[in-house]
Structure 1
C-alpha cells in the first residue's frame, strides 16, 4: 500500500483532527455507493480506510513514523531480535512469537479508528449510505450528532419559583423547557437527543439551553433568600404598624414592631427562592421615608426632642 499520508493527502505533521477531516472527505467521495459504476471505487475506498485505520491509532502511527511497521501495519524486518526460530530452521523459516490477537505490538487488533480515545468514524461514514455495518475488523458505534446551544432569559420572579419557558433551537425546533427554581445564572440545561441529527447513523446530539436571569426592580437574590426594601413612615417605625410588603407570590401584610430603626431587617419564612417547601426566606429591609417637601409639625417635634432630650445615635 502507498504511504498512508499520501493516501489521505496530509503531511506528517498533521493533527488527529486534520487526519479525520481528510478521511471524511475522501471516504464520502470514494464510497462504492457513491460510485456504483466505477470499478476502482472499492479498491480506492479500501486504501483510504486502511490509511486512516493506521494513522488514527496513535501507537500505530508512531510505529510507522519510526519505521517499525510498514503502511499495512506489518513489522519491518530488523534482524532476529525477539524471534524464536524452530530447531533446524533457517532464517527464512524463523517463527516470530506474536500475541493471540495477531499483532506483534500488543493486543488484538482494534476496531476501525480504535486508537486511544478514537471514535468509529468508519461507521460514521457508512451510516450515510444506508446504515450498513462495515466488514469484520471495523467495530464500534457511529458518532452522535453535534450538540446545539440556545439561550433563554427568565424574569426574576419566575426564575425564583421555577417556570416553563419556550425556546427555539438552532435546528428550528421549538421546545418547552422546565427551568428549575433558583438555577445558577448562566448555567445550561441539557436536553437529551434534541441536538443535530447525526446523519451518519449515530444518535442525535443534545441541546444545551443557557439560562439568564433578568434583574428585578424590587427583589435581589442572596443565596436562597430574597431581599426587598420597604419604605415606612417615621410614625410607623416609632409606634409600630402593619405595612404591605411585596413578595414573589403577591402582597402580604407585615407587622412592623414599635421602635424599629431604618435598616432593620424582618424575615418572612419560606418566601424566598425555591418551591415545594424548600424555599428560602424573604428579607424585608425597612427604610424610613420622610414626607416629601418636609412637614412643619414633624420639624417642630424634632426640634423639641433635640432640645428636651438630646439623643446621639452614634453614642
Structure 2
C-alpha cells in the first residue's frame, strides 16, 4: 500500500501542478538509479516518488484522490461494501533506462523517459511491447565563436558511438539539436532520437547581455586624446574602429551586428573604453603630466 503521495513528494495539498512537477523532477534526479547504483533503498523510494507523481501529476486522478474516490495506489474506494476493489492502478515495475551521453543519464531526466520505464502511458515509446525506442540525451560544450559562425562537432556517447553534430549558425545556449533515429533501438518499432543540448562556454574577453556582447577595450593616452582608428577583436576576427577625439574611460562604442544571437536576431558588440598608461614608465609622459598639472590644474568630475 502506497503512502501519502503529497508527503512522498514533499508538497502541500494545495500545491500547484508546476510545484508538483518541480518537486518530482528534483527527487527523481536525486534518487535515479544511474546516480545510486545498487542502492535498494533509493530504488524503492524512486518507485514511490514516481507512483506519487503518476497520481498527482494527472489532474483527474488527483481530484479523485482528494475526494477519497481512489487510494494512493489508484484503486477505487467502495465505502460500505467491505474493502476496496482494484481498479485503475499503475502497471509496470522498475525498469532500466537507455544510456545517455554527456555527464550521465540522471542529469538530464525527461518525464517521458521516466514513465516509459514505469508504465503509466505517458511516454511516446518505452520498454513495453513493441514500439519506439527511447530518446537519449547528451550535452555538448560549444565556444562562443562556433555558436555564432556554426560548425560541425563530434560527440561520443557512453556506448562508444561517435556522431557528428551540425551546430547551426546563430546557435543559442540551451538549444537542443535532435538527431533522428540515433537513440535506443525500438522493440519492433523505430529507434528513438538523440537530443543534444548545446552549452555555450564563457568567453575570456566577451560577456553576454542578451543578444549583445560587451567587452573592455584598452586605449592608449594618445588615441584617447587625439582619436584615430584602432584594431578591435570580435568573435569573427579583428576589425578597425574609430575612436573619437577626447574619449574618456567608460565611454562605450557600438559595433552593429557583431554580437551574439537571441530570438533569431543578432545583437551588437559594445566596447567600453579603458584609457591605459604604458606598462613601463615614460619620462616624456611624466614630464608632460607634471607641467600640465602645474599649469592647467583640474579636478575630474567636479
Q: Which bin holds the TM-score, normalised by the shorter protein?
A: 0.5 to 0.7
Give the number of equivalent residue pairs. 199
- Structure 2 segments unaligned to the other structure (5+ residues): 1-46, 52-72, 88-118
Q: CA deviation at 1:240?
A: 0.6
Please give the TM-score of this superposition, normalised by the length of structure 1. 0.54
Matched, 1:293 2:280: yes
Name stretches of at least 5 consecutive residues in structure 1 with no aligned partner: 1-13, 19-57, 70-114, 128-141
Counterpart among 27, 48, 66 of residue 84 in structure 2: 66
Distance 1:68 1:300 in 2: 96
In structure 2, distance between residues paired with 1:120 and 1:163: 31
User: 2:144·2:235 contact (CA, 8 Å) conserved in 1?
Assistant: no
**Residue pair 1:149, 1:169 contacting (<8 A) in 2 also:** no
The 8 Å contact of residues 126 and 134 in structure 2, kept in 1 or not, is answered as no
The DSSP-based 3-state class of the residue aligned with 1:62 is coil
Residues in 2 aligned to 1:122 and 1:240: alpha-carbon distance in whole angstroms: 66
Matches within 5 A, 1:100-249: 117=121, 124-125=128-129, 127=130, 142=131, 144-198=132-186, 200-249=187-236
Mapped partners of 1:224, 1:120: distance in 2: 35
Summarize the Cα distance change of 1:311–1:207 in structure 2 as closer, same or farther, 3 Å threshold.
same
1:266-315 deviation per Cα after TM superposition (whole angstroms, max 9, x unaligned): 1111111149x942111122221211222122122212222222211121
SS at match of 2:76: helix
Deviation at 1:170, TM superposition (A): 3.3
Check the 8 A contact 2:171/2:261 in 1, yes or no. Answer: no
Q: 2:271 aligned with 1:284, yes or no?
A: yes
CA distance in 2, matches of 1:284, 1:205: 46
Give, in angstroms, the shift of residue 193 of structure 1: 2.6
CA separation of 1:151 and 1:15: change in aligned 2, threshold 3 A: closer
Counterpart for residue 265 of structure 1: 252
- SS of 1:170's equivalent in the other structure is coil
Comparing 295-304 with 163-172, greater Cα deviation is found at 163-172
Larger radius of gyration: 1
